[in-house]
Amino acid sequence: MKNILITGVSTGIGLATAQYFISKNDYRVIGTIRNPDDGDKVYAQLGPNFIPILLDVTKMDSIKEGYNKIKLLCPEGLSLLVNNAGIAVSGPLKELELSDFEKQMDVNVNGVLRVTNTFLPLLGATLDAKIPPGTIINISSVSGIFNTPLLGPYCISKHALESMSDIYRRELSIYGIKVIVIEPGPTKSEIWSKAKKDSDKFLHTDYGRIWKGMVRRVEKSESSAIDVNILAEKIYKVYRKKSPSNRYIVTKNKFINWFTFYLVPDRIIDIGLKKALMKGIKR
């Protein structure tokens, strides 16, 4: 039975991915949670092949404690690390509290670095390793490719994760470790519902009307968002590939998004976005 570590399994993509791997009967999933009650809840849902570990990706002591527990549980090492834990901070950069921006980066970027470096020994990252080389899958976003106004903090964190993944992939190739990026579009996950809790904080700025319209669009897009089970299946299939690609976009309109992200010049996109922003101001 292979050992899988997934960060952030309380809800959303992490929970669905844990469930999918366990359904295959060949995997034991260790999932990180921040609330002990969530661990009991997820364990009751997933069964004995799931092991909850209390771990906060922003705290090195918590990560080391989790590592020591997992090292005892998995002396044979980890086959896969899925860096899924993340948050979404949104708002115009001009009006953003620095502490909110730092929190976004600490979770989505520094958190991945802390967890990955800590668990690399269990993925076979030494030249004399007796552990077979594992795989790392980082959950990024199409926001790591395309920069959307008012989603700046989240976009910046995902762009950084894209770069970090490329560096890890190249540096860890000497050990035979694969590093793959999954880039979902809008997903049926709690990450944005949590982010909308502070949706009133920018209403009295120059971006107030635009912000209000964006919140409505996010709410509307949730009905047509990707189901987390589709992403879980994709993660499993990518992990199973002998020669996976470096990154995978997972959206409902893959070709349109690919065309926009890679072929349309920035200047054309800037003109279109400025028109949309000005239209929002005048409403």
pLDDT tens by residue, 142-174: 999 999 999 999 999 999 999 999 999 999 999
Label residue 266 by pLDDT band (50, 70, 90): confident
Q: In the structure, what pLDDT confidence band is assigned to residue 196 with cuts at 50, 70 and 90? A: low
Mean of the per-residue pLDDT values of the chain: 90
What per-residue confidence (pLDDT) applies to 262?
65
3-state secondary structure of 30: strand
Angle between helices 208-221 and 266-282 (to 10 degrees): 110
pLDDT of residue 263: 72
Arithmetic mean of pLDDT, 130-142: 96
Alpha carbon distance 164, 1 (integer Å): 30
CATH number at residue 77: 3.40.50.720
| Residue 133, pLDDT score | 97
Looking at the DSSP bridge assignments, the partners of residue 28 are 3
Lowest mean pLDDT among 5-14, 42-51, 259-268: 259-268
Please report which helix (H) or strand (E) contains residue 281, including its range: helix 266-282
> Is pLDDT of 222 > 70?
no
Q: Which residues contact 153 (CB under 8 A, 6 or more apart)?
A: 89, 90, 91, 93, 96, 100, 101, 104, 105
Question: For the CA atoms of 251, 256, 260, 264, what is the dihedral angle to 10 degrees?
Answer: 160
pLDDT at 197 over 70: no
Q: How far apart are CA 82 and CA 59, in angstroms?
A: 18
Asked whether the predicted pLDDT for residue 239 surpasses 80, the reply is yes
Which of the four pLDDT bands, split at 50, 70 and 90, describes residue 193? low
| Contact between 228 and 13 (Cβ < 8 Å) | yes
Q: Is the pLDDT of residue 264 over 80?
A: no
In DSSP notation, 105-137 reads: HIIIIIHHHHHHHHHGGGGT-STT-SSPP-EEE
Q: Does residue 223 register a pLDDT over 80?
A: no
Question: Taking the alpha carbons of 108, 109, 110, 115 in that order, is the dihedral positive or negative?
Answer: positive
Q: Is the pLDDT of residue 211 over 70?
A: yes
- What is the crossing angle of helices 12-23 and 36-46, to 10°? 30
Task: Identify the domain containing residue 209 by its residue range.
Answer: 2-282
Report how far Cα 8 is from the mean position of its chain's Cα atoms: 9
Asked whether residue 238 carries a pLDDT value surpassing 60, the answer given is yes
Closest among 192, 120, 8 to 18, alpha carbons compared: 8
Q: Is residue 195 pLDDT above 90, yes or no?
A: no
Active-site residue numbers? 154
For the segment 105-112, the average pLDDT, to the nearest whole number, is: 98
* Residue whose structure tokens are 């809800």: 11
Task: Assess whether pLDDT exceeds 70 at residue 220.
Answer: no
The domain total for the chain is: 1
Residue 225, pLDDT score: 83
- Cα–Cα distance between 236 and 14 in angstroms, integer? 12
What is the rounded distance in angstroms from the CA atom of residue 47 to the CA atom of residue 13?
18
Q: Which of 32-41, 73-82, 131-140, 151-160 has the lowest mean pLDDT?
A: 32-41
Query: Taking the complete model, does pTM exceed 0.85, yes or no?
Result: yes
The beta strands (E) that lie in 185-224 are given as: none
Burial class (CB in 10 A: 0-12, 13-18, 19+), 42: buried
Helix (H) or strand (E) holding 231: helix 228-240
Higher-pLDDT residue of 274, 194:
274
